[in-house]
Structure 1
Amino acid sequence: MAMMKMRITGSEDNVRAISNLLQSLDGIEHVEEIADLMPHMDDPDSSSAGLSDVSGPDMHEIEVDVPNPATGRKVRQAVEALAFDLDVLVEFEQDDS
């Protein structure tokens, strides 16, 4: 089973909608949001701390187990269509293995 990873730039509600879509697709058994392990290097003493243009939209990473390439294509097409409707940015990570 191959692992498909995607990064989503959007709100928690948008990520939840994409996760729900993924879990509803035939052949998909595992969908997991990966925790953000990178520390954010915001300086609380900075003159730009807390400004709205400094904090961008939330980024989330999701892992999906896909059983075969055909299901992977179906997942990608479905997520791209929903992301377009939600006005969300989705980036798919290519699996080199």
Structure 2
Amino acid sequence: MIGIQVPEPDPIEATIVAWCRRANLYRDGALVREGVNLLGSNELAAKAWAKAVANHLAADGEHDHESLATFLLTQQAAQHVRAYSSAPLIAEGLLVMLTERGLL
């Protein structure tokens, strides 16, 4: 019998999807919004956005706030999440969360 192997989910992608449901957002290191649901119940958008962000982080290598905020405004990321005015807050929140969990 032939078995189908399902690839392990990327830990960064899975963590970002979970974070989207109750995101903490920061400005200059201070918590400004706690437990924000960024994507409602749109699981497909969360997964697509998480994959785009994880790919950017893997390719960029520097993991800095400005680079990630700029990426969140690109068409690739913005087609899933309209982050325009909140991009810096979302970027900082993502970096804080991923760093705290040892994923960066």
TM above 0.5, yes or no, is no
TM-score (norm 1): 0.38
Which protein is richer in helix relative to its size?
A: 2
TM-score (norm 2): 0.36
Which protein is richer in strand relative to its size?
A: 1
